[in-house]
Amino acid sequence: MFPVLKAASYVLMHTPDMVLNNGTTQTTERIVNPESEYLKKVNENLRPFEEIVSYPPNQCYIGNITPEELATYEMPWYDKAIEGATAHGKKGEIFEEDVFLAFIKASDSFDLVLLEKDFTESVRPKLEAYPGLNAKASTLPAGIELEKITTEIQNRGAEPLLYKGEVVGCVKRAHDIDVNLNAHVIFENLVVKASGMIAMERLFVLNNIDPASIDYVIECSEEACGDMNQRGGGNFAKALAEMTNCVNATGSDTRGFCAAPTHALIEAAALVKSGVYKNVVVAAGGATAKLGMNGKDHVKKGMPILEDCVAGFALLVSENDGEHPILRTDLVGGHTVGTGSSPQNVMSSLITKALDKGGLKITDIDKYSVEMQNPDITKPAGAGDVPQANYKMIAALGVMRKDLERTQLNSFVEKHGMVGWAPTQGHIPSGVPYCGFAIDDIMSGKIHRAMIVGKGSLFLGRMTNLFDGVSIVVENNPGIQVEEGSVSKEEIRKMVAEAMSNFAASLNQ
Amino acid sequence: MDLENQRRVLDLTNEYGAENVIVVLGAAEGEAAGLAAETVTAGDPTFAGPLAGVQLGLRVYHCCEPEFKNEVDSEIYDEQIGMMEMVLDVDDIISEMSAIRDEFTKY
């Protein structure tokens, strides 16, 4: 039996202070051009929390509006607001920066995060709203004096934590000389842990899932944790499981740049299909390095800096319940070493390789979930509309395979595609943002079948020039069917009854 | 154009001479193609990389331009680029590329 895609959650952390202090576009600028006009304009181009909440793509990310509803808003979207929008989503939540800093402290297992005492008291009650965090995480220790924090930052290389431009805490280094445990790395890793942790917490709470039922967690973000002897040793997954009371779970980290979430989804499906585990969570935290990545272009065009949120997500893959959409582990595509790098080879390996295994046409997939990057962010930066470009390529592939006519190219894009809504946090927009909607759309009968496609730019790691990507088909659950050659419960009952009566008869003889 | 590629273009040009180098681009948009073309002709417009202020004036073409397409095996072209050609706004790319070449290419 195929495993099912049971639930999904999506979270956003509004982190305007981290845009300036931790986004690599800004930190690089500070090194090469400290007096730059751009750096002076960063703060005045940051959005307040209310605008983050009412921003249509963010409402789509947390599940309050569908991609179809988002498409009804005329672009650009940054000057549009959804009336009455709330930070609480059907599938997740948007958090203010002070709450996120509390999550960072809550996820600190080694006393590396220091928060100022008044700030601590102001955020302490806010943690109570998240019952899925473990008891230790939801009880913040008392904060400390600001002077001690300043001393750590000035004398011991601690990374400052800011809120509304003021220092309210810091992340200390975890070792004197180990670069993999310096304050910067620990900070980035705690951001992953805190955002991944709250994505899992929301997954469990919003969907009434008992964390004790989880057997395994796969974390698939783009950071690495470890020390100087094992730089990417791991294990974020186990840390997330610990924070969210998954007492019966272990886990491991999967990496593959932006393709990692789809790799992890396929791995989770395989683990459940094989019977190794019954419930596997795929989760990821976000990256501060990518905050404000296209900020220079946004500012140049008089726009707000739109990459102002750290994101996270979590998915649950479970054994077949006869209801939720099934993950077709027999319809998996992937870019292999021998595929080559031309766009049509890449697209064929990802799209048609999976379809061919099931004798399906390109038009048999109702919705393709590709790199669902928000075009409001990418278009002004000259990177175009990423989902749109992907849909055009899939359509062109369909024309080359004669699955559709050339004249149907645009209508295919319209019908089988979607507008992008996910923040440009690398792995976050890749394939998985639609999983939550896919569950709803397939279960309501709106669509029959979707394909989740993840792609990754491996060359950035300088170990291979190869491209990478994988895909998997998700479709409606036909219900649990008794497999041919197997025995039904009724038959077993009959056999047992017969054996018992034969046994009784033998006793009477 | 990323800094590493700028370095490679500069190194190859120094090694083989600007008159012997042709740059072939595969950018997905006219604007991006134009920026890369400008970088290898008039210099890096962002003033961030090794080609900042370096006017190489190289010959530069996009792989969907007829000058390149007519020089290569049409079967291989179809196999490698045919699909993308269907997707891209080729006219826009040609107009961006021609404008840059007319203004800055020295060879």
Task: List the single best residue of A339, A392, A462 to mutate versus B (max B Cβ within 10 A).
Answer: A392
pLDDT in tens, A441-452: 999 999 999 999
To the nearest whole number, what is the mean pLDDT of chain A? 95
Q: Report the alpha-carbon distance of residue A87 to residue A49 in Å, rounded.
A: 9
pLDDT at A36 over 90: yes
Identity of the residue in B28, B32, B83 whose CB atom sits nearest the CB atom of A344:
B83
For the ranges A440-444, A487-491, B1-5, B84-88, the one whose mean pLDDT is highest: A440-444
Nearest CA in chain A to B80: A342
pLDDT at A471 over 70: yes
Secondary structure (3-state) at B61: strand
Residue B4 in contact with partner chain A when CB distance is under 8 A: no
Tell me the average pLDDT across A455-476. 93
CB contact under 8 A, A400 and B35: no
Residue B70 in contact with partner chain A when CB distance is under 8 A: no
Q: Write out chain B residues lying below 8 Å of A392, CB-based.
A: 87
Q: Write out chain B residues lying below 8 Å of A389, CB-based.
A: 28, 87
Cα atoms in the Cβ-side hemisphere of radius 13 Å centred on A232: 11
Task: Name the more confident of A505 and B78.
Answer: B78
Identity of the residue in B29, B79, B81 whose CB atom sits nearest the CB atom of A384:
B29
Tell me the average pLDDT across A391-410. 92
Residue ranges per structural domain of chain B: 3-104
**Residue A44 — very low, low, confident or very high, per pLDDT cuts 50/70/90?**
very high
pLDDT in tens, A187-204: 999 999 999 999 999 999
Closest CA to A464 of A343, A289, A341: A341
pLDDT in tens, A58-110: 999 999 999 999 999 999 999 999 999 999 999 999 999 999 999 999 999 99
**Range scoring the smallest mean pLDDT among A293-302, A382-391, A413-422:** A382-391
The residue ranges of DSSP E strands in A319-401, in sequence order, are 326-334, 367-369
CB contact under 8 A, B84 and A393: yes
CB contact under 8 A, B83 and A347: yes
Residue ranges per structural domain of chain A: 4-475
Neighbour tally for A21: CB within 10 Å: 20
Q: Write out chain A residues lying below 8 Å of B35, CB-based.
A: 382
Give the list of residues 6+ apart from residue A355 with CB closer than 8 angstroms, or none.
A331, A333, A361, A362, A364, A365, A473
CB contact under 8 A, B29 and A393: no
Q: What is the pLDDT of residue A137?
A: 81
pLDDT in tens, A333-366: 999 999 988 888 899 999 999 999 999 999 999 9
Q: Domain A4-475 is in which class?
A: alpha beta
pLDDT in tens, A141-191: 999 999 999 999 999 999 999 999 999 999 999 999 999 999 999 999 999
Tell me the average pLDDT across B29-42. 94
CB contact under 8 A, B29 and A397: no
Secondary structure (3-state) at A499: helix
Distances (CA, A) of B101 to B23, B24, B95, B107: 12, 13, 10, 10
pLDDT at B48 over 90: no
CB contact under 8 A, A400 and B82: yes
pLDDT at A482 over 70: no
Element (H, E) at A509: none
Distances (CA, A) of A250 to A212, A225, A264, A395, B93: 11, 17, 15, 41, 52
**Residue A484 — very low, low, confident or very high, per pLDDT cuts 50/70/90?**
low
ipTM exceeding 0.85? no
Give the list of residues 6+ apart from residue A121 with CB closer than 8 angstroms, or none.
A143
Q: Report the alpha-carbon distance of residue A106 to residue A298 in Å, rounded.
A: 34
| Nearest chain B CA: its distance from A230 CA (Å) | 28
Long-range contacts for A298-302 (Cβ within 8 Å, ≥24 apart)?
A298/A45, A298/A377, A298/A380, A298/A381, A299/A38, A299/A41, A299/A42, A299/A45, A301/A380
Q: Report the alpha-carbon distance of residue A173 to residue A492 in Å, rounded.
A: 62
- A9 token code pair: 């959650």
CB contact under 8 A, A399 and B82: no
**Residue A509 — very low, low, confident or very high, per pLDDT cuts 50/70/90?**
low
Nearest CA in chain B to A381: B32
Give the list of residues 6+ apart from residue A413 with CB closer than 8 angstroms, or none.
A388, A391, A392, A395
CB contact under 8 A, B82 and A393: no
Bridge partners, residue B16, by sequence: none
Secondary structure (3-state) at A74: coil
Identity of the residue in B31, B32, B87 whose CB atom sits nearest the CB atom of A393:
B87
**Residue A483 — very low, low, confident or very high, per pLDDT cuts 50/70/90?**
low
Residue B18 in contact with partner chain A when CB distance is under 8 A: no
A396-406 core/surface letters (b: 16 or more CB in 10 A; e: else)? bbbbbeebbee
Helix axes A117-127, A97-106, angle to 10 degrees: 90
Give the list of residues 6+ apart from residue A213 with CB closer than 8 angstroms, or none.
A248, A278, A279
Task: List the single best residue of B86, B88, B90 to mutate versus A (max A Cβ within 10 A).
Answer: B86
Q: What is the pLDDT of residue A492?
A: 77
